[in-house]
Amino acid sequence: MVGELNDSPFVLAADAFNDWWQAGSGKPITVADLAEAVLEALRQIGTIVQDPTQLARLTAVTPTLRRAKARARVGDIISVPAGRLDQHLVVILCRNRFGTAFGLIRGRYPLRRPATELDAAATGIAVYCDEHAITSRRWRIVGHDDRLLGRFPTDPEIYHRPQPPFPGMPPVGEFGSAETASGPLRDLTAAEAHAIDLDGSYQQVYLHDQFEEVIAALIARRSP
């Protein structure tokens, strides 16, 4: 029915809503209040719609609320499923041109039990991943602790494998190079390249489902 209306009903509805709002108490408008205002506006335009009998059948306007997508903040602690009863925990470190960096926290934690005193479990390892699992609520925001940020790099690096020189690009070191979002490349040592498995399983950025599969291995391989 709404698609059949011309401009006049919408103009009248806007005027009716404005009059209703100005005559109100000044308190915040609830969704239920707005629905009542829309219903009253529709009743007022009954004489100019194409089929007034359809409007007469309208007795209520019921809004359908959509659940807002979760938006995590830097410092939020995120629960990553580790099985039916356990979870891994990570902390959001930053967002930059590489993506979102997550700080890995050692151990597995029971579901529905707030984790405390995570400083000692912070690995110092930062991994880039997408946030789709947060916005879809597969990964839950379970806490916030800005103190954890000091246990991780403020500008986490990604790593480049050794490769022949490429015109116009910075040269990569003999064992690979590290790059931050805000700085130049630096050469890796052989020990660093080995620790991150640069010639093997290393990825610069993970998709959330990949990250779930490898988080335990990343912690085990790269933790001291």
Q: If pLDDT is split at 50, 70 and 90, which confidence band does 169 have? A: confident
pLDDT above 60 (res 2): no
Model pLDDT for residues 35-56, shown as the tens digit of each residue: 777 667 666 655 555 555 665 6
Model pLDDT for residues 66-77, shown as the tens digit of each residue: 666 668 999 999
Least confident window among 149-153, 164-168, 180-184, 191-195: 164-168
Q: If pLDDT is split at 50, 70 and 90, which confidence band does 85 have? A: confident
Q: If pLDDT is split at 50, 70 and 90, which confidence band does 208 have? A: very high
Amino acid identity, position 98: F
% of the chain at pLDDT higher than 90: 56
Average pLDDT, the chain: 83
Residue 211: what pLDDT? 97
Q: How far apart are CA 40 and CA 193, in angstroms?
A: 69
Q: How far apart are CA 62 and CA 68, in angstroms?
A: 18
pLDDT above 60 (res 122): yes
% of the chain at pLDDT higher than 70: 68
First to last CA, the chain: 66
Q: If pLDDT is split at 50, 70 and 90, which confidence band does 127 have? A: very high
212 contacts 104 by C-beta, under 8 angstroms:
no
Residue 90: what pLDDT? 97
Cα-flanking dihedrals φ and ψ of residue 164, to 5°? -60, 150
**Nearest Cα to Cα of residue 197 among 161, 155, 163:** 161
